[in-house]
Amino acid sequence: MTPSEDPSTDEEHIAKTETFSLAEAERIAEALVFASAEPVSETLLAERLPSGLDIPALMEGLSAFYAGRGVNLIRTGDRWAFRTAADLSFVIRKDDTEARKLSRAALEVLAIIAYHQPVTRAEIEEIRGVQTSKGTLDVLMEAGWVRFRGRRRTPGRPVTLGTTPDFLDHFGLEELRDLPGLEELKGAGLLSGRIPPNFHIPLPGAVDDLQDDEDPITQMDLEELGLLTPSGEEEE
């Protein structure tokens, strides 16, 4: 880093020190992450490692090193963790390690929160067309996957919900962008509250034809049903 008169030897020296300290930094990073059951943040790594290191690059390198092994170094959010390789689950899985079983409703709510966050409870209800039963959110929050994020700047300032870093860790996601199918859903306009302009439903051609068990609706029927006011007020 300091300018020198003899570039060649100095560079060599620097290179050597760098290799040494890089290997050492790798060992430390490895030990820190390996020792922990929970993912370790890059912030914590930066605190413990020699300063001036490019932590993400270091970790990417380590991650590549472990990629083919039985234990992988994976990133989740801005944290790193060692996890057994997914393809080995059959050897390691014990019967008593069954992950928390979620109800259908809870799973659906979790997916909506994950894909639509930040999302309010009212919006979840709009999507599902039904009230979220008490306790469903509670279950998700207790599991540590869902959290209150903040408040929407709209009248009533409803609280918004989102997922947690533990959610990413549990489902093996590096980041929210890795949610399966996220891009397609976005592209199809299915993550918005509004019907996308390109959303077509072929209108039932068969609509006009009455079914066998149908009689045509008459003006009389309509009046009877209260759909038309008896007088002729269509001209408004």
User: Which parts of this chain interact with its own copies (CB under 8 A)?
Assistant: 26-32, 34-35, 48, 68-71, 82, 84-85, 88, 91-92, 94, 121, 132-139, 141, 147-151, 157-159, 172-174, 177-178, 180-181, 184, 186-190, 192-193
Residues 97-126 within binding reach of another protein (CB under 8 A): 97-102, 104-105, 107-108, 110-112, 114-117, 119-120, 122-123, 125-126
Nearer Cβ to its own copies (96/234): 96
Please, what is the end-to-end C-alpha distance for the chain in angstroms? 83
- Residue 95 binds another protein (CB under 8 A): yes
Q: Which amino acid is at 35?
A: A
- Burial class of 57 by CB neighbour count within 10 A (0 to 12, 13 to 18, 19+): exposed
Residues 34-73 within binding reach of another protein (CB under 8 A): 34-38, 40-41, 44, 47
Rounded-to-integer distance, Cα 9 and Cα 167, Å: 50
Q: How far is the CB of 140 from another protein (least distance, A)?
A: 9
Torsion of CA 75, 81, 82, 88, to 10 degrees: -60
Q: How far is the CB of 151 from its own copies (least distance, A)?
A: 5
Nearest to 166 by CA among 181, 149, 147: 147
**Stretch in the footprint of another protein (CB under 8 A) among 2-10, 20-28, 61-69, 201-209:** 201-209
Nearest to 91 by CA among 70, 66, 69: 70
- Identify what 16 binds: its own copies, another protein, none; CB under 5 to 8 Å per kind: none
- Identify what 196 binds: its own copies, another protein, none; CB under 5 to 8 Å per kind: another protein
* Residue from 31, 46, 64, 67 in contact with another protein (CB under 8 A): 31
- CB count, 10 Å around CB of 13? 11
Rounded-to-integer distance, Cα 165 and Cα 38, Å: 11
